[in-house]
Structure formats: C-alpha cells, structure tokens
Amino acid sequence: MNPYAASLGDRDVLSVLASTPERIRLLVSALGPSGMTRSYAPGKWSVQQILMHLAQVELVFGFRARMALTTPGYVVQPMDQDRWMAVEPPLDPAGALAAYEAVRAMNLALFRRMTPEQRTTSLTHPERGAMHVWEIAASLAGHELHHLAQLEMVGRRAPH
C-alpha cells in the first residue's frame, strides 16, 4: 500500500522521479534565501526542513530498494521522520538540495535499470505488510509530489 498513491495518481513513476527535482529546484530558487524559513502552515516544517527531509527519504528508500534486491526475505526497518529530523544536523538549503539531487540521480539510475523481475522482488514492511520493490519507487514519487505541493503553497504565500 502506497501512502502517497493519491499524490502520484496515474502518473508514470519514472517520469515523476526524473522531473520533480527540477521543479523543486526552481521553486526553491524563486523563494530565495528568506523563503527557506517559511512554512506552508503554522507548526509545519519550513522549506529548509522539507529539503532536508527529502534528502533523508531519498537515502532511506534507495537503501530499502537495494537491500530488497540483494537480501532474500528483507524486512524494512521503519523510520520515524520526526526523530530523524531532531537528530540530523541541519544542512544549509543548498546542501540539502544537493544531497537530495545526488542520491536521486543514483536512485533514478537504479529504478530505470530494473528488470521486471527485480521490480517484483518481495520485501516486508512491518507497518504495511508484504510489498515489492517497485512500490518503493512509487512511494518515493508520490512522497515528493506531496512535499512539492507544500513547497508550492509556500510560494503562493510568499510576499510579493
């Protein structure tokens, strides 16, 4: 079960994974340095925190896919995003964006190269049950579309 299926809709997973980083980069650039501390809603993460979170999730989901492809019976270690954010030393927005984009390039290359058999490699998520590797790619694509919408909200609320 992809918790971000609604954000992904019927879009092609690889197309989303290939195009979203540029959209995020353009939004971040338009917001400028002063926009990095703004949030889309009170009590929610700032743009800088969202960028850090995107880098973290890129790392985690790519690791999960690689482990599932190389470890029979792989069971995912769940992550608590708020705890990760609490212990992670904050990178400046440019550093977080660069980390996200670098790991995305690696993950996109992996996902593009997967055979149909690799895409259906099984793994288990303790909270979501049995799944296959391609669901990781689809979750990653939907996840970043979810956060892209938040970044777009910040942009719409930006002072002009």
Stretch among 60-64, 89-93, 94-98, 146-150 having the lowest mean pLDDT: 89-93
pLDDT at 160: 53
* Stretch (H or E) spanning 147: helix 133-156
CA 114, 117, 121 angle in degrees (round to 5)? 90
Rounded Cα distance between 121 and 141, Å, is 18
Q: Each residue of 113-124: pLDDT tens digit?
A: 999 999 999 999
Note whether 155 and 147 are within 8 A (CB).
no
Rounded Cα distance between 147 and 26, Å, is 14
HSE, CB side, 13 Å, CA atoms: give it for residue 57: 22
Domain 11-156 = CATH 1.20.120.450: yes
Domains of the chain by residue range: 11-156
Q: Of all residues in the chain, what percent carry a pLDDT higher than 70?
A: 98
HSE, CB side, 13 Å, CA atoms: give it for residue 8: 22
Q: Mean pLDDT over residues 125-147, rounded? A: 95
pLDDT at 90: 78
Q: Output the pTM of the full model.
A: 0.93
Average pLDDT, the chain: 94
Rounded Cα distance between 77 and 58, Å, is 15
First to last CA, the chain: 40
